[in-house]
Amino acid sequence: MRPQLTRHEQRLLDGAAGPAAELATRIVVRMAGILGARKLVPVTSSHIDGCLYHGDGGVEFAERLVALDGRVAVPATLNVGALDLLHPGRVRAGDRRREMALRQMRAYQALGCKPTWTCAPYQSGHRPALGEHVAWGESNAVAFANSVLGARTNRYGDFMDICCALAGRAPRTGLHLGGRRRATVVVDTGGIDAGLKRRDIFYPVLGTWLGAEVGDRVAVLTGLPATVSEDQLKAMGAAAATSGAVGLFHVEGVTPEAPDLATALGGRAPEARIPLAPATLRAVRDSLSTAPAGRIDAVAVGSPHFSLDEFAQLEALLPAAPFAVPFYVCTGRSEYRALESAARLERLEAAGIEIVVDTCVVVTPILAPDGGVLMTNSGKFAHYTPPNTGYGVVYGSLEDCVRSAAGGHVTRDEGLWS
């Protein structure tokens, strides 16, 4: 089934905006037909996930769009690449891989995309408004845009994201539709300790459980504190989008489309109600670790990329002596520049912290090649570290990570989990 096109969309398909826009629109229209969308929807921005080098095909596709004089029709930010352009020596890659990764990153810039190189574009000012239709890639960014900002996007992968950006259109289906955004599952967190729900360590665990439990369904969570922070929601959404296919969640009284339970449910009865038990979460927390609680070889945080608030928390925890093991913090350029302008980099580097920008340690070779055990406070890192790097992983809070890095062995506070 081919969607019904407006006059403008038909002109794009006829080549009125050039061959790159014609190709992109043809792909968007074809995908709309596959998805059963009857129309396209205008989008106001895009976040491009396709700039990470996975092979030559991605480079060739981007460079083909450049050769066709492609230019994004809407503002577009860029997700992480395979290189840290500010610290080239951080990435261990051969000359050809480095060259191809750089070509891919440059091609997307040539298409008019903003070189943010971050998985958290919402931290660098890219924050679409409530109800605004966008075409975002990168699973955590999609969950954040839909859930925390109330914008409307599906999970656009490589290379639909750039096609939507060139066409300024996306298939009008899925989470672009109001009826698909209502919650069908209620998750009751009332049985969880209130102190634990105030702690950052809780939210990646909750997200890991949520994604595995609900898959791609939309859930509304009740009983979370009204003070839950953007960083906590960011961490929960990233984990839920990693362990499942969550593109949207609601938090009663917190997120913009859930001022109350009835609104989040769209006035209907839920298909399922799930009371969350402490023992269930404890088991999920334990499952995030694949290595025993002993010696560690490195710590990595910042997936999604570290915010300035998270840097402030880290600075308050820094020990007097340098860390005993490498401590990597992945962040975006906007946060790095802010730290640099405020003269905050020196203290972090003096403690032994290596700040990684433009990329992260699980998508490109940065960790020492001989393997070992990595400790992290990120549910997403915990999921991807073993298969992507060969390291075992131990999960803990940011405080746990700092204490463990200082001594070179796992030190965790078990109090609220017992």
> What distance in Å separates the CA atoms of residue 378 and residue 365, rounded to the nearest whole number?
18
Q: What is the domain count for the chain?
A: 3
- Of the candidates 245, 249, 199, 263, the one whose C-alpha atom is nearest the C-alpha of residue 225 is 199
Q: Is residue 360 situated within a structural domain?
A: yes
Same domain (yes/no): 294, 319: yes
Q: Indicate the pairing of strand 272-275 with strand 249-251.
A: unpaired
CATH of the domain at 159: 3.30.499
Q: Is residue 57 situated within a structural domain?
A: yes
> What distance in Å separates the CA atoms of residue 39 and residue 183, rounded to the nearest whole number?
24
Q: Which of 127, 156, 176 is the last residue of a domain?
A: 176
* Main-chain phi, psi angles of 284, to 5 degrees: -65, -45
Q: Is residue 270 situated within a structural domain?
A: yes
- Whether 56 has a pLDDT exceeding 90, the answer reads yes
Model confidence band, residue 417 (pLDDT cutoffs 50, 70, 90): confident
Same domain (yes/no): 21, 146: yes
* Cβ count within 10 A of residue 303: 30
Same domain (yes/no): 118, 267: no
Same domain (yes/no): 152, 219: no
Structure tokens that stand for 112 in this block: 């008019």
Same domain (yes/no): 36, 139: yes
Domain that holds residue 91: 7-176
Model pLDDT for residues 324-339, shown as the tens digit of each residue: 999 999 999 999 999 9
Same domain (yes/no): 50, 67: yes
Contacts of 7 (CB under 8 A, 6+ apart): none
Model confidence band, residue 13 (pLDDT cutoffs 50, 70, 90): very high
Q: Is residue 359 situated within a structural domain?
A: yes
Structure tokens that stand for 201 in this block: 């360590």
Same domain (yes/no): 327, 399: yes
Same domain (yes/no): 129, 193: no
Model confidence band, residue 414 (pLDDT cutoffs 50, 70, 90): confident
- Of the candidates 146, 71, 88, 82, the one whose C-alpha atom is nearest the C-alpha of residue 117 is 82
Q: Which pLDDT does position 271 carry in this prediction?
A: 97
Q: Which pLDDT does position 415 carry in this prediction?
A: 83
Q: What is the 3-class SS of the chain, one letter each residue?
A: CCCCCCHHHHHHHCCCCCHHHHHHHHHHHHHHHHHCCCCEEECCCEEECCCCCCCHHHHHHHHHHHHCCCCCCCCEEECCCCCCCCCHHHCCCCHHHHHHHHHHHHHHHHCCCECCCCCCHHHHCCCCCCCCECEECCHHHHHHHHHHHCCECCCCCCCHHHHHHHHCEEECCHHHCHHHCCCCEEEECCCCCHHHHCCCCHHHHHHHHHHHHHCCCCEEEECCCCCCCHHHHHHHHHHHHHHCCCCCEEECCCCCCCCCHHHHCCCCCCCEEEECCHHHHHHHHHHCCCCCCCECCEEEEEEEEECHHHHHHHHHHCCCCCCCCCEEEEECHHHHHHHHHCCCHHHHHHCCEEEEECCCCCCCCCCCCCCCEEEECCHHHHHHHHHHHCCEEEECCHHHHHHHHHHCECCCCCHHHC
Mean pLDDT of 238-247: 98
Q: Which of 262, 286, 310 is the last residue of a domain?
A: 286
Same domain (yes/no): 220, 278: yes
Model pLDDT for residues 172-187, shown as the tens digit of each residue: 999 999 999 999 999 9
296 φψ region: left (φ > 0), alpha (ψ -120 to 50), beta (else): beta
Q: Which pLDDT does position 258 carry in this prediction?
A: 98
Mean pLDDT for the chain? 97
Q: Is residue 418 situated within a structural domain?
A: no
Q: Which of 231, 262, 286 is the last residue of a domain?
A: 286
Mean pLDDT of 151-177: 97
Q: Which pLDDT does position 46 carry in this prediction?
A: 98
CATH of the domain at 344: 3.30.499.10
Same domain (yes/no): 36, 164: yes
Same domain (yes/no): 16, 99: yes
Q: Is residue 251 situated within a structural domain?
A: yes
Model pLDDT for residues 218-231, shown as the tens digit of each residue: 999 999 999 999 99
Q: Which pLDDT does position 418 carry in this prediction?
A: 72
Same domain (yes/no): 34, 169: yes
Q: Indicate the pairing of strand 46-48 with strand 40-42.
A: unpaired
Q: Is residue 305 situated within a structural domain?
A: yes
Q: Which pLDDT does position 1 carry in this prediction?
A: 76
Q: Is residue 61 situated within a structural domain?
A: yes
